[in-house]
Amino acid sequence: GAVVSQHPSRVICKSGTSVKIECRSLDFQATTMFWYRQFPKKSLMLMATSNEGSKATYEQGVEKDKFLINHASLTLSTLTVTSAHPEDSSFYICSAPRLGRGNNEQFFGPGTRLTVL
């Protein structure tokens, strides 16, 4: 199956710093990638849809200036949490549907656990 990687897998940072999380599709191209946030014992919440070559589409309630998304190429999307605060601590997961396969299979990255001190 297709593989999606994320880097880093874990990051601990100080309050006020910015953190960049990378999402890569390793063996297929993805014009669209999705970024999710998962709180402990909660479901995944879609934050934004990352579109290659254009601006990301953010879900209601998600601050676009706080969570910067850049879809730099057909295999890479980055999420930057700017001026991180402890309430941004969470598990961030990206996914990518494989081109030509519609929406019936998205491949998920292993997730990045962010802890803001």
Partner 1 sequence: GEDVEQSLFLSVREGDSSVINCTYTDSSSTYLYWYKQEPGAGLQLLTYIFSNMDMKQDQRLTVLLNKKDKHLSLRIADTQTGDSAIYFCAESEGNSGGYQKVTFGTGTKLQVIP
Nearest to 68 by CA among 48, 86, 52: 48
Phi, psi of 12 (to 5 degrees): -120, 130
Residue 75 C-beta: closest distance to partner 1, Å: 16
| Residue 110 makes contact with partner 1 by CB under 8 A | yes
Task: Single out the residue of 11, 80, 108, 115 in contact with partner 1 (rule: CB under 8 A).
Answer: 108
Task: Single out the residue of 105, 114, 115, 116 in contact with partner 1 (rule: CB under 8 A).
Answer: 105
Give the angle subtended at the CA of 27 by the CAs of 24 and 33, to the nearest 5°.
40
| Residue 49 makes contact with partner 1 by CB under 8 A | yes
The interface region with partner 1, picked from 12-20, 67-75, 77-85, 93-101 by CB under 8 A, is 93-101
Q: Are 117 and 14 in contact (CB under 8 A)?
A: yes
| Residue 34 makes contact with partner 1 by CB under 8 A | yes
Residue 52 C-beta: closest distance to partner 1, Å: 12
d(CA 22, CA 6): 5
